[in-house]
Chain A
Amino acid sequence: MSAPTVVPVSGARPPIPEHRGGPGRRLVEALQTPGGGVFVLAALLLVAVVVANPSFGEPGSLIRFVGRTAPIAIAAMGQYFVIVSGEFDLSMGAVITAQVVMAGNLIGQDDGKVVPVLLLMIGLGVLIGLVNGLLTTLLKVPSFIVTLGTMLALSGLVLYLTGGAATGNPADSFRNIGRGGIQGVPVLEVIPYPALILLVLAVGAVVLMRRPFGRTLIAAGDNPEAARLAGTTLWWLKTRAFVLSSLSATVAGIILVGYAGVHPSVGRGYEFTAITAVVLGGVVLGGGRGWVLSAAAGAFALELLFSLLNFLGVESTWRDTVQGVIIIAAVAVAGRAWSAGRRPASRSPAGPDPATSPATSPATSPASPGTPVPGTTQGES
């Protein structure tokens, strides 16, 4: 109720508390949140990896590392959309596997089939996302169960199609997407295509999160009831998040076919790696808090950590354990940090009442399109 009174302060846009102070101070403040801290963590890990193994710091090695981490980062960004809206997508790894196996079986060595099969894969990605989203939102089955079901169904399908063994790699023209790159670049030697794809998708994701869709998605994750009352069609909003998630899994799959090759084990465990990365990026499980690039940074931090462990000679069998500990620790830290950060810092004009702070995110969503009547949409539904 008090939110609309904030609006007139600085003309066109309502001042978001985070926007007070100069860019430097804002940066420092942002880095203190879990979503910003992950960038510090990734940087520290990078330094540690380079100290442990100096040749890793060469530009050529670094850009290859970016290329190799791209599918995980892309999957993490996809998972972010679902998690920030308060849901889960456990089917991600199975989607990747299904897409990888499909590419191997359908394309074979026929270059002419590359484009049709690519379109088919994207279509399948959209379809799986729609199924996940509609079952979750319309049938009110928890997404945890729905996507678990999709995961098992897809795994069964892959097992049926392959018997559990590799089928052979598709044409090199298709694999080039994930394996190739722009050659002869000064300093870097090569820019892998996956790194470019990651860059494009990251920009796209940031833009998307700044648009009404992104704002309402966070609002819906924070407080679905309030978002609904604010006029959001929740089922369509969340369904789109699921579609984005399975599309990102599809892109990761396309890259992995090139990078790794076709094997039924490709994509295995990706849903947990993605969730770990998202959580490490300070995105709150249950939704409503977090930045999409933090999820990607979480993926990089995670991969850097695994590389560090490898360079330090820690057995790779510890990897799952590390991942489990990270999930628990990150959620614990993030939960404390977000709530600690909210109370003292929120001396906003809106008033000290903590009950209003969850409402700030929904309030920004009607405002951001720049409509002449900010805030009034709340009353319409």
Chain B
Amino acid sequence: MRRKLIRGSVAVAAVVALAACSTDDVDDPAPQAEGSSEETEGSSEEWFVQADYDEQFEQRSATFEGDPEQPWLQYIDGEMTDTSSFAAKGAKKVCFSNASIDNPWRQTGWITMNEQLKVLQDAGVISEMETRDAQADDNTQLSDIDYFISEGGCDAFVISPNSTAALTPGVERACETGKPVIVFDRGVETDCPTTFIHPIGGYAWGIDTAEFLSENLEEGDKVVALRILPGVDVLEHRWAAAEKIFEENGIDAVDYFTGADPTEIKSIISDELAKGDVHGVWMDAGDGAVAAIEAFEDAGADLPVMTGEDEMSFLRKWEETGLTGLAPVYSNFQWRTPLLAVEKIFKGEEVPKEWVLPQVPITEEERAQFLEANDGMPDGHYAKFGGEDLPGYPDVWQERIIP
């Protein structure tokens, strides 16, 4: 009797302890919340910076320098970094510290980057690229960067930070080596890098999507916002902007965190449909968009007005169902830009200090064109991957072999 009680309570303690671990796991694939702890979770107002919102609002209609056929080299006119001191002959070694490849967007970009690398290797610009994947762990990425600094023998650093605040010291240490440092995707809180490459940003995403939903819905309509996780700046900015616009337009928006788990998404939509009509679905990333649409189909409800992403699974489902939708884009082609920046830097050509790439959503009119262009691509592929002129196209992306 006593033995059983003890065994039982040990087991329970262990279950509870493990439950705690598994909660960590849930957050694991995602970057840790950035910033000081009191700023991490909480209402989106803490993530809303009016000046950034206004800037990105303007940038959506800005003129981009460069060839529109090569959007990955376009930028908004602004401060440039003089790189004449880096000018050098010969093939250079690039060290790439990657946050992770744990979502389809990053995987697609990673494939594109490797194809771009082959071109530059053949051209004798880059000798090799040594990559360390931090598997979405800040500490791992910091030690990856330190390894590169001390033992990598790197000529240039490319860093895709896992989170903003935590990786700032690592990027600063890389800058202190005096070698070119290129940061892309998520940002850091220092302007020491030679160039910081990113599409317009999260606010622009939020503005595009929330305006679209507001235009296609009536005041008082219900929108379910499906968010992957809290605490990541680019995702929080998307929601912060969208929430503001929903409020201004009298749209009744309720947001949920889903972890991109389709089971969770289906349960949330099913429960919301049981509560009452849902007129719109807003997503901060397209992963799981199909599950959301299926939940409406399964419940026999009218399909919502919806914003997903330029992921093929959403584009295909969107076309198949004929719902009113928009595919916002967080330009995946930005994964080419860092290596092309390396080429420019070692040629001594100036590069934008903040390299803002175009970020244009795919509308219903353009959808057929993108579906056709990406015919045969897997569901996790992103339509605006921008690798059509690379030698491995289309097989490498179709087979989707992760390098």
Tell me the bound Cα distance from A263 to B107 in angstroms. Answer: 14
Q: Which residues of A contact B288 (CB under 8 A)?
A: 263
Q: Contacts A269-B22, A285-B11, A331-B8; is A56 near B266 (CB within 8 Å)?
A: no
Q: Which of B8, B262, B298, B380 contacts A335 (CB 8 A)?
A: B8
We find that the number of chain A residues with CB closer than 8 angstroms to chain B is 49
Stretch at the interface among B67-75, B268-276, B335-343: B268-276
Given A64-B299, A166-B287, A324-B19, the answer on whether A268 and B8 have CB atoms closer than 8 Å is no
The reply on B12 being an interface residue by CB < 8 A is: yes
Q: Which of A3-11, A131-139, A253-261 contacts B (4 or more CB under 8 A)?
A: A253-261
Instruction: Spell out A's residues near B (CB within 8 Å).
Output: 53, 55-56, 61, 64-65, 68, 86, 88, 90, 144, 148, 163-169, 179, 189, 256, 259-261, 263, 265-266, 268-269, 272, 275, 284-286, 288, 306-307, 310-311, 316-317, 320, 323-324, 327-328, 331, 335
Q: Does B368 contact A (CB under 8 A)?
A: no
* Docked-complex contact A256 and B402, CB < 8 angstroms: no
Interface assignment of B119: CB less than 8 Å from any CB of chain A = no
State in angstroms the CA–CA spacing of A345 and B29 once bound together: 52
Residues of B within 8 A of A88 (CB): 11, 15
- List, in ascending order, chain A residues with CB within 8 A of B101's CB: 163-165
The docked-state distance in angstroms from the alpha carbon of A307 to that of B270 is 10
B102 close to A164 (CB less than 8 A):
yes
Contact call A261/B11, Cβ cutoff below 8 A: no
User: Which residues of B263-304 have CB atoms within 8 Å of chain A's CB atoms?
Assistant: 263-268, 270-271, 274-276, 287-288, 290-291, 294, 298-300
> Which residue of chain B has the shortest Cβ distance to A175 in the bound complex?
B294
Give the B interface residue count (CB, 8 A).
54
The answer for the CA separation of A68 and B268 in the assembled complex, in Å, is: 12
State the CA gap A275–B260 with chains docked (Å): 23
A285:B274 contact, CB within 8 angstroms: no
Question: 12 pairs across A/B with beta carbons < 8 Å?
Answer: A88-B15, A164-B29, A165-B107, A168-B313, A189-B300, A266-B262, A268-B22, A268-B259, A311-B275, A320-B19, A328-B16, A335-B8
- B79-104, CB under 8 A of A: which get 1 and which 0? 00000000000000000000011111
Residues of A near B265 (CB, < 8 A) are: 260
Taking chain B's interface residues, is the majority helix, strand, or loop, or is none over half, making it mixed? helix
Q: How many A-B residue pairs have CB under 8 A?
A: 133
Q: Give the nearest-CB partner of A306 in chain B.
A: B267
Say yes or no: A327 contacts B12, CB within 8 Å.
yes
Q: State the CA gap A265–B294 with chains docked (Å).
A: 18
Interface assignment of B26: CB less than 8 Å from any CB of chain A: yes
Measured CB to CB, the nearest residue on chain B to A143 is: B11
Shortest Cβ distance from A80 into chain B, in angstroms? 15
- Contact status A163-B402, CB under 8 Å: yes
Tell whether A265 pairs with B379 under 8 Å between CB atoms, given A163-B402, A335-B8.
no
Specify which chain B residues have a CB less than 8 angstroms from the CB of A284 in the assembled complex.
Answer: 4, 8
Q: Quick one: given A268-B26, A286-B7, A316-B256, are A165 and B19 in contact (CB under 8 Å)?
A: no
Chain B residues contacting A261 (CB-CB under 8 Å) are: 262, 290-291, 294
Cβ contacts under 8 Å, B378 to chain A: 167-168
* Beyond known contacts A68-B267, A266-B263, A320-B23: 14 more, CB 8 A cutoff: A68-B266, A86-B7, A88-B15, A163-B102, A166-B287, A166-B380, A167-B379, A169-B290, A260-B291, A263-B287, A265-B261, A265-B264, A331-B12, A335-B5
A331: B residues at CB distance < 8 A:
8-9, 12
**Which of B5, B19, B262, B270 makes the CB contact (< 8 A) with A263?**
B262
A165-B101, A265-B261 are contacts. A259–B14 as well, Cβ < 8 Å?
Answer: no
Which B residue's beta carbon lies closest to that of A104?
B379
In the assembled complex, B25 has its CB within 8 A of some CB on chain A: yes
Question: Whole-angstrom distance from the CB of A113 to the nearest CB of chain B?
Answer: 17
Residues of A within 8 A of B107 (CB): 163, 165
Chain A residues, CB < 8 A from B379: 166-169
The answer to whether the Cβ of B147 comes within 8 Å of any Cβ in the partner chain is no
Using Cβ atoms and an 8 Å threshold, which residues of chain A touch B9?
Answer: 331
Chain A residue numbers with a CB within 8 Å of B270 are 64-65, 68
Q: A53-B274, A164-B103, A165-B380 are in contact. Are A275 and B259 (CB under 8 A)?
A: no
In the complex, what distance in Å separates the CA atom of A64 from the CA atom of B266?
Answer: 12
Instruction: Please give, as numbers and ranges, the residues of chain B lying within 8 Å of A268 by CB-CB distance.
Output: 22, 25-26, 259, 261
Residue B393 at the chain A interface, CB threshold 8 Å: no
B100 A256 Cβ-Cβ under 8 A? no
> What residue in chain B is nearest A289 (Cβ atoms)?
B4
Structural contact, A263 and B15, CB atoms closer than 8 A: no
